[in-house]
Amino acid sequence: MALLAAAGVSLSILAFSVVLGSEGGRHRQVFEFKAAGRVAALQAEMDSHVEAVHSLQSLYSATESVSRQEFSVFAGNEFSTHTAIQALEWVPLVKAEERAGYEAAVQAEGFSGFTILERQDY
């Protein structure tokens, strides 16, 4: 009788282990499937945003200079197409000898307090 009870307990433990292993495997498969879907969606979104930056690069490659207004029109289109992009910046290169004239020109366009600030490294 004890032998029969031991065999029953052993079979129960074995069945429990088999069921537990198959359930764990099934949960792992479901997790990996869902994770792969989310990774693919994130990658597609990132690729879309990188494409927006490449478009911006093409804008600058097509002309010698890009005005604030041209950049604004371009960026407005990118914002409407890529709603997750929060900012694109227009930061022209201004040489030291052109600084005063550039600041005056921007101020004349209606940005009365405009001045170029230099970055301070600490």
| pLDDT band for position 16 (cuts 50, 70, 90) | low
Which tokens go with 52? 């927006």
Higher pLDDT: 27 or 7? It is 27
Would you say residue 103 has pLDDT above 90?
Answer: yes
Torsional sign, CA 49, 54, 55, 59:
positive
Are the C-beta atoms of residues 88 and 56 closer than 8 Å to each other? yes
Q: Kindly list the distances between the CA atom of residue 24 and the CA atoms of 17, 35, 91, in Å, as whole numbers in the listed order.
A: 10, 16, 54
Query: Residue 79 CA to chain centroid, in angstroms?
Result: 14
Contacts of 81 (CB under 8 A, 6+ apart): 52
**Bigger pLDDT: 88 or 40?**
40
**Domain range list for the chain:** 2-91, 92-122
Supply the angle between the helices 2-61 and 68-81 in degrees, to the nearest 10: 150
What is the pTM assigned to this prediction?
0.52
Task: Output the pLDDT for position 15.
Answer: 66
Predicted confidence (pLDDT) at residue 122 exceeds the cutoff of 60: no
CA distance 58 to 7: 75
